[in-house]
Every structure is written in C-alpha cells, then in structure tokens.
C-alpha cells in the first residue's frame, strides 16, 4: 500500500515522477510483419474516467474507492496533484486506489508546482478544479504540454473570476492560477468541441454560487457530467440544436464519495482492434470495452468500412455501457468520415489512418482541426508517418485523405513527436506491412497504455 502523501511515496513505482521524457535518450522500436493475432485481452482502464475519478474523489466527502484505474503516467500525475492539493491518495493494489476527499470547498495551496507531464486532460481539468478554491497553484508539464493552448480554459475561468498570476507567452505553461471563493457562475458556450474545456468550466462551477451552464454545439464525451451526478451533484443535461447539449450545474454541491469501476479504454482498445483487422489470420477478443456512444466513432467508421467487429456481450457496468468485442481480419473499403463524428473518435484518427492504408480506395477524414493541438500536430505527424511508409495521402485544409490497398511497404523511422498515439499507430501499421515499420521513440506510450508492448506481443505481434 502506498500513500502518495507519505514521505516515502517518491520511492514507489506508482508514484514515480513522469518528468524527464523527451529529455533523456529516445527509445526506438520496430514492428515487423506478424502472423495472425490471437487471444483475449483487457486493455487498461479508461484514461478520461481515471482522471475524473481521482478529481471527484478529491472533491468528495469520505473515501472513494476506484478499481481498474489506469496506472499510466498521465493519470499518476493527476493522482500526485490531488495529493498535493490536500486529498489522501492511496494505492492499495494494481488498479485499486482510495481517495480520501477534502470536500467541494476544501482544496489547499500546494507546496510546489504541479507537474502534469504530457497530459492535457490532467492540467486543464485541474485548472478548473482550482479556479473556485482559495488556492494559488503553478501548473507545468513537459515540452509537448508547454506548447499546447491553455487560453481555451483560461478565458472562461478568468471570466468567472480566477486570476492568471503569471504565464508563459500566449497563456501557455508554466502558469500560476489564483482561484477565488467568490467565483461567478456563468453561461459559457465552448468555441470548439472540447470535453476538457467543458469539464474545466463545470469543475470551476463546483466552487461558484448559482448555476453554471455549459453549451456545446457538438456533444463531446460526457464523463464529467456522469460523474457529477454519481457523486451527488444537481446536474441537468438537455439537447441543444442538432448535435449539441446544454449542461446546467447547481453550484456548491455537497459531493459524497462514491465507488468508481473504470471500464477498459476504447481509445487504447483501438490499437489491438485495428491490428487484428489488418493482420491476415487474426481473431481476437477485447473484453470490457467502454461503449459510451460519445466514444465509439471509430467502431462506427470501421463497421462502415466492412470490419468484422462482433459486439459479444453488451451490458451496463458502473453506469457505462461495456462490451466484449470479437475482431477478425477483414478486407476494408474506403469511406467518408463526416466532420460531426470527430468528437466521438478524436484520439482515434491516427490509427484510423492506419486502417485506411489497408482499405481499398480513398478514406476521407473531414474536419480535423483539433488534431493540430494534441500532444503533437497529429495531422502533420500522421501525414509525415504515412509518407515515410510509402502510403499515398493528401492533407487538404483540415481534411486527411488516405488512399489504401492490400499491401503496404512500410519503412520509417517515423517521428513520434512525444506523442503516444503516433507511436502506437505506426507500430500497428508495421505488423501488417511488407518490411516492418520503425518509430523513433516509444517512451510516451507509458502515458496512456503502459502495457501496450507486452499485450501486443502476447497476441502474437513481433515488436523489437
Ligand atoms: O476530456 C477528456 O478526457 C479528453 C478530451 C479530448 O480532448 P479535447 O477536450 O481537447 O478535445 C481528448 O482528445 C483527450 O484525450 C481526453
Ligand atoms: C489528446 C490526448 O490526451 P491529452 O489531451 O489528455 O494530453 C490523447 O490521449 O490522445
């Protein structure tokens, strides 16, 4: 058992600092043409739900027990920040954690800057959490996170009454935010489809008197709304326009500890899933995959492409739809992926581009502007990686068009730019290519899917 607050916490694996990636030597790897993948695996817990379970545990009165928590670096950094803000965070065993909360108004000023490593979700949600508290905190991250836009969160938070004490150019990290207990509840329409921005405003709304309303023109993942309800807040979600939602949170709720069972992450499942589709002879089962409709855009798209994905046992667990997925090698065909589907598959475009490389004809992915502000500029990184592997493609404005076929040469080294999803996507591509694919650095895979390499090898993937 390890308490993150204890003086010895720094010595435990679960609490080891994530800082340092991108500064030390890179770890290259090569994925080679593999025989059919076989087996039954459960990918680690959902990253979005894991961050939120810790944060709501911090805000709740009582002890929240979390099972299936993703022990990836992004989430471990959030756990450490919750501890630094006053919660008692304890790892009981693999994936099982307890958070003794401080109550919805009880955060305290941390002694040192909060380091979120590579994680946009961690840093943006925690800025929202701090905004309505009597707390001043400094937020920082690695070189990738320092490049990412934070103004999208700072704009609504400062309009509510939080103050930016200092920030790097353009409102980037490192920055210090001074929260306020007199935060004004607001009505905010998010200018871009972003669950992180929506969640930051709602988390700030916990500390504000009155109703905080967030309007989104396109619905994004709703884990924050579900968890607010699960922890006892008064929250209302209504449709808004054709694809959007209006979310109303009554401020200063008394949040009560509640158990959270984290389902398997559909964004991680995407990698073995696409690998099984493109490697001839494959037949695998992915268990307990979260099937929240705001996360299943990739499955919808792959089914349209002709993928053999059988939803074996769909059920509700811990308030989320989950299912086992049987996936078999399939001949795929190119399709149009409409822009309105982007929020439901935003992190899956790199690996969809890999599936598209093996599909007959053109797959057109439309409306990908948000991909430019992820851990890397994913539109550019995917295009460069496809070029390095000899795959015909075109970037037209914010659209990516990939022309696929039955065989792919492969190659590399693909530049991964501190981006876990670029690294995993191109390793998957290598498994079905003639000559394999090498990537320049696999270190960042540990941010979201620390068991990726052993799990893929257990299915029969050749990666060295
Ligand atoms: O809220 C979340 O947990 C996430 C929201 C998405 O980011 P945006 O809010 O920037 O779209 C997604 O890309 C990220 O991996 C996780
Ligand atoms: C975009 C991602 O994460 P984050 O924004 O939390 O860094 C991701 O995991 O693909």
Q: pLDDT for 257-313, tens place per residue? A: 999 999 999 999 999 999 999 999 999 999 999 999 999 999 999 999 999 999 999
Name every residue whose Cβ is closer than 8 Å to that of residue 186 and which is 6 or more positions away in sequence.
Answer: 156, 159, 160, 201, 205, 208, 212, 213
Please tell me the CATH superfamily of domain 26-44+263-463, with its number: Enolpyruvate transferase domain (3.65.10.10)
Ligand nearest to the CA of 125: 1
pLDDT in tens, 185-205: 999 999 999 999 999 999 999
Distance 102 CA to ligand 1 centre (A): 26
Ligand nearest to the CA of 374: 2
User: From the CB of 78, is ligand 1 less than 6 Å away?
Assistant: no
User: From the CB of 374, is ligand 2 less than 6 Å away?
Assistant: yes
Q: How far is CA 293 from CA 67, 182, 289, 343, 454, in A?
A: 22, 36, 12, 11, 29
For residue 5, is pLDDT > 80? no
Pocket test for ligand 1, best of 219, 221, 376 (most atoms within 8 A of CB): 221
Distance 47 CA to ligand 1 centre (A): 10
- Of the pLDDT bands very low, low, confident and very high (cuts 50, 70, 90), residue 3 is confident
Predicted pLDDT at 4: 80
- Of the pLDDT bands very low, low, confident and very high (cuts 50, 70, 90), residue 461 is very high
Active site (catalytic) residues? 347
Same fold yes or no, 26-44+263-463 and 47-261: yes
For residue 16, is pLDDT > 70? no
Q: How far is CA 154 from CA 103, 167, 333, 423, in A?
A: 24, 11, 43, 30
Predicted pLDDT at 23: 62
The complex's ipTM works out to 0.99
For residue 374, is pLDDT > 70? yes
**Percent of the chain predicted with pLDDT > 90:** 94
The whole-chain average pLDDT of the chain stands at 95
pLDDT in tens, 35-91: 999 999 999 999 999 999 999 999 999 999 999 999 999 999 999 999 999 999 999
User: From the CB of 194, is ligand 1 less than 6 Å away?
Assistant: yes
> What is the residue extent of each domain of the chain?
26-44+263-463, 47-261
Tell me the mean pLDDT in the region 140-148: 98
Pocket test for ligand 1, best of 72, 342, 346 (most atoms within 8 A of CB): 346
User: From the CB of 140, is ligand 2 less than 6 Å away?
Assistant: no
Return the CATH class of domain 47-261: alpha beta
For residue 8, is pLDDT > 70? no
Helical axes 266-278 vs 420-431, angle rounded to 10° = 20
Tell me the mean pLDDT in the region 227-243: 97
For residue 26, is pLDDT > 80? yes
Distance 374 CA to ligand 2 centre (A): 6
User: From the CB of 448, is ligand 2 less than 6 Å away?
Assistant: yes
For residue 19, is pLDDT > 50? no
Predicted pLDDT at 78: 98
Distance 432 CA to ligand 1 centre (A): 29
Name which of 118, 160, 164 is nearest 138 in CA terms.
Answer: 164
Atom of ligand 2 nearest to the CA of 421: 10
Atom 1 of ligand 2, residue of closest alpha carbon: 374
Predicted pLDDT at 319: 83
Predicted pLDDT at 28: 98
User: From the CB of 448, is ligand 1 less than 6 Å away?
Assistant: no
Other CB atoms within 10 Å distance of the CB of residue 448: 27
pTM: predicted TM-score of the whole model, two decimal places: 0.96
User: From the CB of 221, is ligand 1 less than 6 Å away?
Assistant: yes
Other CB atoms within 10 Å distance of the CB of residue 142: 25
DSSP class of residue 106 equals -
pLDDT in tens, 423-440: 999 999 999 999 999 999
Pocket test for ligand 1, best of 192, 195, 347 (most atoms within 8 A of CB): 195
Cis bond before residue 413 (omega within 30° of 0): yes
Distance 346 CA to ligand 2 centre (A): 9
């Amino acid at each position: 058992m390890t308490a993150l607050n204890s003086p010895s916490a720094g010595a435990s694996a679960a609490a080891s600092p994530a800082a340092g990636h991108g500064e030390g030597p890179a770890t290259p790897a090569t994925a080679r043409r593999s025989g059919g993948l076989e087996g039954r695996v459960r990918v680690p817990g959902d990253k979005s739900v894991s961050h939120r379970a810790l944060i709501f545990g911090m805000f709740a009165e009582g002890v929240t027990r979390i099972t299936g928590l993703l022990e990836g670096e992004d989430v471990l950094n959030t756990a450490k920040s919750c501890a630094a803000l006053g919660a008692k965070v304890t790892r009981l065993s693999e994936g099982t954690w307890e958070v003794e909360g401080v109550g919805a108004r009880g955060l305290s000023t941390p002694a040192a800057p909060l380091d979120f490593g590579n994680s946009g979700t961690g840093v943006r949600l925690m800025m929202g959490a701090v905004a309505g508290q009597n707390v001043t905190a400094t937020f920082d991250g690695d070189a990738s996170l320092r490049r990412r836009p934070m103004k999208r969160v700072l704009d609504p938070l400062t309009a509510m009454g939080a103050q930016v004490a200092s920030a790097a150019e353009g409102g980037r990290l490192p920055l210090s935010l001074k929260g306020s207990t007199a935060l004004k509840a607001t009505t905010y329409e998010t200018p871009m489809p972003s669950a992180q921005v929506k969640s930051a405003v709602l988390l700030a709304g916990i500390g504000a008197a009155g109703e905080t309303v967030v309007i989104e023109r396109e619905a994004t993942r709703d884990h924050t709304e579900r968890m607010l309800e699960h922890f006892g807040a008064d929250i209302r979600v209504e449709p808004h326009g054709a694809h959007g939602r209006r979310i109303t949170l009554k401020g200063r709720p008394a949040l009560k500890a509640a158990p959270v069972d984290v389902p398997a992450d559909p964004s991680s499942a995407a990698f073995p899933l696409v690998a099984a589709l493109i490697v001839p002879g494959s037949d695998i089962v992915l268990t307990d995959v979260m099937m929240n409709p705001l996360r299943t855009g990739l499955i919808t798209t792959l089914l349209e492409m002709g993928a053999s994905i059988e939803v074996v046992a769909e059920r509700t667990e811990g308030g989320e739809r989950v299912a086992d997925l049987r996936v078999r090698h399939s001949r795929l065909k190119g399709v149009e992926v409409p822009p309105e589907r982007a929020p439901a598959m935003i992190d899956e475009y790199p690996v969809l581009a890999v599936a598209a490389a093996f599909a007959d004809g053109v797959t057109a992915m439309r409306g990908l502007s948000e991909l430019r502000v992820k851990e890397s500029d994913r539109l550019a990184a995917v295009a460069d990686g496809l070029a390095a592997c000899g795959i015909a493609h075109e970037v037209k404005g914010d659209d990516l068009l990939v022309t696929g076929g039955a065989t792919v040469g492969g190659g590399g080294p693909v530049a991964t730019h501190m981006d876990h999803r670029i690294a995993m996507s191109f390793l998957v591509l290598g498994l079905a290519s003639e000559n394999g694919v090498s990537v320049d650095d696999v270190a960042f895979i540990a941010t979201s899917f620390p068991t990726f390499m052993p799990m893929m090898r257990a299915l029969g993937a050749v990666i060295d």
